[in-house]
Amino acid sequence: MNDSSWGAPPSAGYAGGRLPSDQGPVPAGPAYDAHNAQQTRPMPIVPDAGRDFDDHDERDRGSAQLGGPLFREEMPQEPMPSPTPAPQPPPKKRAGRDLRAAIGVGVGLGAVIVASLFIVKAVFVGVIAVAVVVGLWELTSRLDEKRGIKAPLVPLAVGGAAMVVAGYARGPEGAWVAMALTALAVLVWRMTEPPEGYLKDVTAGVFAAFYVPFLATFVAMMLAAEDGSWRVLTFLVLTVVSDTGAYAVGWRFGTHKLAPRISPGKTREGLFGAVAFAMGAGALCMEFAIDGGTWWQGLLLGFAVAVSATLGDLGESMIKRDLGIKDMGTLLPGHGGIMDRLDSLLPTAPVVWLLLVVFVGAS
């Protein structure tokens, strides 16, 4: 310990704060300092053995300057160990959407569909046409926003609605003719704009015409049969059951990714759930809802629906990933847009139509 620890001396020429009792005043000067240098030098203070010289000693020296004790009586306390946080349980899996809103919207749409199916078939044809036009608007809007692709909406909307009506009234021939005329209308309509981007715009337009209205036309062709209402209902039930089975099993047991680069949420276990649920529902529908159908045909139908619905969902996920979006729209709370509900229905419609024609005939 040195003098600086104590601060400046109270008076120049003194060896401390007071004079020795047996001596008179001591004059200050070089002679005195040289003679008494050894006597006035303070002795070093050695810390107690076993005691660390740490910040406690610094505080002790400060307290000594203020008249307090030079050393602390108690030994320094050991630092308290920090409490180990209790392990937290793993977070529960949550659905990516508002489940209540999704169920409410789904029930509402189901009521509209069932009512229009079994009251007046023509009303359901109108429902299909409206869904097609809204789906085309969502798809072309996202293409324009994210990629600057301007697929002409007017000829697509008019040709798409006409395609659905032609399929219901004239069957496959009417659907193909309407599809060809819609593609031609897209090519001509785009000629009214500057030529820059013509190829990508018309290509996207023809793709949209095939992807949305042409595939939806197979639902109208199913409806045209004598038991068409039950065929369409079977198609809808199997697709919804497949999606529900994939969601329920994948959410509870899914660990192995099905296509992580396309849709990270889908699992192989979910696909097995979709197949199992759809095959069970298919057996029941073909046995009790379709005239002339049998349970084993329902098993095959359910398997095909599960595969096509999954591929359709992955196909739209591929489009959305390319565009960098999560949903095609926001029209349906808890679901996204119309296209987010049509993704598994559209490619499944021709599969169901074809298998029903093979199993029980076209009418």
- pLDDT value for 80: 59
Spatial separation of the C-alpha atoms in residues 312 and 304, rounded to whole Å = 12
**Contact residues for 213 (Cβ-Cβ < 8 A; gap 6+):** 132, 136, 156, 159, 160, 161, 163, 164, 179, 182
Spatial separation of the C-alpha atoms in residues 237 and 301, rounded to whole Å = 12
- 3-state SS of 29-45 is CHHHHHHCHHHHCCCCC
Spatial separation of the C-alpha atoms in residues 363 and 352, rounded to whole Å = 14
- pLDDT value for 31: 43
Which residues, listed in sequence order, are joined to residue 357 by a DSSP beta bridge?
A: none
- pLDDT value for 109: 76
- Under 8 Å between Cβ of 220 and 125: yes
Radius of gyration of the chain, Cα coordinates, nearest whole angstrom:
42
- pLDDT value for 84: 61
Q: What φ, ψ does residue 257 adopt, rounded to 5°?
A: -70, 140
195 burial via Cβ count (<10 Å: 0-12, 13-18, 19+): exposed
Spatial separation of the C-alpha atoms in residues 138 and 328, rounded to whole Å = 6
Spatial separation of the C-alpha atoms in residues 261 and 102, rounded to whole Å = 26
What is the chain's pLDDT, residue by residue, as a tens digit (363 residues)?
444 444 444 444 444 444 444 444 444 444 444 444 444 455 555 554 444 444 444 444 444 444 444 444 445 555 555 556 555 655 555 545 566 766 777 677 778 788 888 888 889 999 999 999 999 999 999 999 999 999 999 999 999 999 999 999 999 999 999 999 999 999 999 999 999 999 999 999 999 999 999 999 999 999 999 999 999 999 999 999 999 999 999 999 989 999 999 988 899 999 999 999 999 999 999 999 999 999 999 999 999 999 999 999 999 999 999 999 998 988 877 668 899 989 999 999 999 999 999 999 987
**Contact residues for 250 (Cβ-Cβ < 8 A; gap 6+):** 265, 266, 267, 269, 270, 271, 273
- Closest by CA to 169, choosing from 113, 117, 118, 228, is 228
Model pTM score:
0.72
First to last CA, the chain: 109
- pLDDT value for 96: 53
The packing angle between helices 268-288 and 228-253, to 10°, is 150
Place of tokens 């050393």: 71
- Tell me how far CA of residue 183 lies from CA of 61, 174, 191, 242, 315, in angstroms: 94, 14, 13, 33, 22
- Closest by CA to 168, choosing from 111, 127, 110, 212, is 127
- Closest by CA to 289, choosing from 242, 359, 345, is 359
- pLDDT value for 68: 46
Spatial separation of the C-alpha atoms in residues 150 and 170, rounded to whole Å = 31
